[in-house]
Amino acid sequence: MLRHVIAPSSGWTKASHTVVRDRRMNSDAKILLLYVQGLPESATGRPLGELAQKLEMKGRAYQQAKKQLIEHGYVHEWRGQGDGGRWVTEQLFANTPLTRDEARAVRARLSPEGAGSTRAERLSAPPPSAQSPTVGEPTPPSAGGYVPEEEHVDENTPHPPSEAEPEPNPGPEPEPDPKPGPEPEAGHRPTPAQEPGAEARPPQPPPSPQLTRAERVLLSLRHTRRELLLGVGEARALAVEAAKWLERGLTESELRHALLAEPPKGGVRSAVGFLRHRLTHKCPVAPAPVAPPEPPPPPVRALITCTSEAEEDHVFRPLGDETECADCRRATAYASWMVDTDTYDFPPDMTWRQRFVAVAKADALRGEPA
């Protein structure tokens, strides 16, 4: 391996080989260690987590790097509670591993005034000041903002009678309807549509033929197996799933056979549950859509004679309303190109007939005799 190294003249940090080559720490821990080591004294008052955010090191990566630095003696922490009741964490950073006793001695030397008391106590906020008492006197609580007008001590009725409401002033009586409707007969209860004030409901559309057929098949199952007896409402609810079978090409007999085949050994406990499970899980796959038929080929046209100025008359079968064959049309296009470029170069795939016609048409366009 070739190496080209230039020592920086400024903006550098001394890194120990012990730190760089230590395999017990990951790269995040080493980068954080070297970053904090190169900071000026004015930036050492910030916590380690805030300094790590400068390197965009957050979350799990920062916690893992800090854990490794603490385990190997590069970072030491002390937590203490001051007079104000606040907890403060004091951190010590070193570029060489220190034991706990060595770190405590370095801490006492860096802050001699804190030998008897912790720095957390010196950094703690002052105790809160005394506050003025609340203005006013205590008042009894009110229940829901409602204060009773009077107390009923003697009464013990859980539901006291409510006061009689004043009767409203009777207004003018409505005039009787001159043409009353027919009164219902005795013992006859009017239907909801006949009741006064009932809104007229729109008539429901008739069920589809598939639903009617499916409901008829479900109601007929009881004739073969008594345990599959269904009510009208149950059959109508299951007919929605059974109609899907009929819509996919099955006949009524095939649907009946699929519902009656392979009965359970222990019998059917619930006819509705058994039929719903079989209709849902054994529903046949919908048939693939039929591809539209291919359009018929265009009719074959009759042969016509080419109208180009060729040496020999020839015929061709047109595809549309063209009057010249493909070779002559190509020769005409190539003749225009020959006149514009004044050249007689022919492509290798051009037939002798096309070349002859192209030269003749080019001469005609130039006004030269053929």
Instruction: Kindly write down the DSSP assignment for every residue of 2-44, as one continuous string.
Output: -------SSS-----HHHHT-TTS-HHHHHHHHHHHTS-GGGT
Confidence of residue 339 (pLDDT cuts 50, 70, 90): confident
**How many residues appear in the chain?**
370
User: For residues 160 and 26, which has the higher predicted lDDT (pLDDT)?
Assistant: 26
Which amino acid appears at position 141 of this protein?
P
Percent of the chain with pLDDT over 70: 71
Instruction: Please report where in the chains the tokens 């009773």 appear, as a residue.
Output: 148
Q: Please state whether beta strands 304-305 and 315-316 pair in parallel, antiparallel, or not at all (unpaired).
A: antiparallel
Instruction: Give the sign of the dihedral formed by CA 131, CA 136, CA 138, CA 139.
Output: negative
The residues, ordered by sequence, that sit 6+ positions from 306 with a Cβ below 8 Å of its Cβ are: 313, 314, 315, 316, 323, 324, 325, 328
Average pLDDT over residues 29-44: 82
> How crowded is the C-beta side of 23, counted as CA atoms within 13 Å?
0
Its pTM surpasses 0.85: no
**Mean of all residue pLDDT scores within the chain:** 75
pLDDT of residue 280: 87
Distance CA 89, CA 284 (A): 71
Residue 172 CB coordination number (10 Å):
5
Query: What are the tens digits of pLDDT across the range 63-74?
Result: 988 898 888 888
Using pLDDT thresholds of 50, 70 and 90, give the confidence band for residue 126.
low
Parallel, antiparallel, or unpaired: how do β-strands 315-316 and 75-81 relate?
unpaired
The predicted-structure confidence for 136-162, as pLDDT tens digits, reads as follows 666 766 655 555 555 555 555 555 555
Written as six digits, the tokens of 116 are 């008897």
Q: Which long-range contacts (CB under 8 A, 24 or more apart) does 220-225 make?
A: 220/256, 221/256, 221/259, 221/260, 221/275, 224/256, 224/260, 225/260, 225/263, 225/268
